[in-house]
A = this chain, B = another copy of it.
Amino acid sequence: MDAQPLYQRLADHYRRAIQSGVLAPAERMPSVRSLVRTHRVSLSTALQACRQLEDDGLIEARPRSGYFVRPRHRAGMLPAQEPDLKQPLDPASYVGIHDRVSDFIAQCERHATSVDLGLASASPAHYPADALKQAMIRTLRGQPDILVKRVPPLGHPELRSVLARRALDLGMNLAPDEIVVTHGCIEALNLALRAVARPGDTVAVESPVYFGLLQVLESLGMRALEVPTSPQRGLSVDALELAMQTHPHLRAVVVVPNFQNPLGCVMPDTEKARLVTLCERHQVALIEDDTYGMLCDDNQPQPAVKSWDRTGNVIYCASMHKTLAPGMRLGWMTGGRWSSRIAMLKFAQSRPNEPLAQAAVAEYMGSKAYDRHLARLRRQLKAQRELLAEAIARHFPAGTRLNVPEGSMLLWIEMPGQRSSMQVFEQALSQGIRIAPGIMFSNSDRYSHFLRLSCGSAHTPELAQAVRTLGGIVAAADEKRSGVTN
């Protein structure tokens, strides 16, 4: 009898098919059911074989679609590692993230950038500049007093109506007057955090997480408790549950459930539901940042965590600057049981937003043109993401790990050999290439050998050359502890 377990033989069978090209890159694997039927194996054997191939980097699972052969260059490239759920959690009170960010911005300003892979936004050409301009001009002509009359409270009525209607697609049932329009998602997060917590309080966040959130916490004098987060499944609800036991005074959790920044992961529905229940049970406020949720490849937005909320314990925050207009800084929120406190804080912090931008965006977001824009943006981002991922796989050194998400614009890269992201960042910048070093995504140094690249720009020959250059910089960078991460 063959010493090799059955699942390994099955996996080898398909490994050869992939390596010989019989199964082409991006082709769909036979489904688990058909493996069971064809090879007369048990369901668990078929599943084990698939997982083996996935672990080997040959195929990849796509939610709701099954397994696919990974593109050629990415075959053999491993996905990002799962976090260590037992990593110690340590809420820093003053974390100095702003110094890191200031230093980053200052360095960027000293160098001319020819290729920007650092910005978590698509390039201007991806947004409907002309249609928005026309909507603005129509609004100015139709409402000649709009710049000089008093600003209506909490948000423009038409925009709030459009947002409430659009929120239905995300599983939320909101009345327009439950919506507060804000200066971007960042202001919404400020208001949410100020509504539920005070300086000195501890707030759980994903790890890694975008530096903007860490800056908000730092500026409000709150402590960030970084909770392990899976590059595949998002925030670990198990780790959070543990954290709630060890940190009984946790006041809030901030989560980016859809296309998390920087990981790009989406929390499965079951985990979203568990998260809502867990926070409710422990009376910990749950703040959802859904900045990227609309940028799904498949035109079917992921449900908001808020859609599982039955008690008002979830505050939902979102923005239009990644999906519609980076130059307009519009965001919105719905405050659950903190609504009246949030309304007060918005009034005291910056007064209601000015009406012109809101009226123009209401017109555009209420039209079919907005749906067409979203579909086009999603297609573009998906195509650019695949090209960027392929280029990374081709040009980065062996041992590089990469997750390729199914939406939005961010790729999270683990460099082999503990190479320093700051070293790579500085060398790339000196050649006109801007990236986001991993060190900016935590108050710890845990991600100092990661990079975040954005596929927000068209994959021009110049951009392709920049990725090649970047791969060379990474390959030549000093290895701190060779082989540790492989």
Contact = CB atoms under 8 A, between A and B. Distances in A.
A150 B199 CA distance: 31
A327 B190 contact: no
A130 B149 contact: no
Interface stretch (A14-22, A216-224, A305-313, A470-478): A216-224
Contact of A150 (B98, B121, B345): B121
A308 to B, nearest CB: 29
A206 interface: no
Interface in A211-240: 212, 215-216, 218-219, 221
Given A98-B348, A140-B133, A347-B215, A147 B328 contact: yes
Contact of A215 (B133, B136, B325, B348): B348
Interface of A: 98, 102, 105, 119, 121, 124, 127-130, 132-133, 136-137, 140-141, 144-151, 153, 183-184, 186-187, 190, 194, 198-199, 212, 215-216, 218-219, 221, 325-329, 344-345, 347-357
A291 to B, nearest CB: 13
- Give the number of times this chain occurs in the complex, counting copies: 2
Nearest to A152: B327
Given A137-B137, A144-B130, A219-B345, A327 B98 contact: no
B136 A327 contact: no
A216 B348 contact: yes
Contacts of A128: 148
A159 B47 CA distance: 62
Contacts of A140: 133, 136-137
A341 to B, nearest CB: 9
16 contacts: A98-B344, A130-B144, A132-B148, A133-B140, A133-B141, A133-B147, A148-B325, A148-B326, A183-B183, A198-B199, A212-B348, A216-B349, A329-B350, A329-B351, A354-B357, A356-B357
Given A140-B137, A198-B199, A199-B199, A149 B348 contact: no
Given A102-B344, A150-B327, 15 more contacts: A98-B348, A105-B153, A127-B148, A133-B140, A136-B136, A147-B327, A148-B327, A151-B329, A198-B199, A198-B221, A219-B344, A327-B354, A328-B354, A329-B352, A354-B357
4 tightest Cβ-Cβ pairs between the two chains A and B: A127-B148, A219-B348, A183-B350, A124-B149
B187 A349 contact: yes
A327 B137 contact: no
A328 B148 CA distance: 7
Contacts of A219: 194, 344-345, 348-349
A119 B329 contact: no
A38 B197 CA distance: 71
Nearest to A345: B219
A222 to B, nearest CB: 12
B347 A184 contact: no
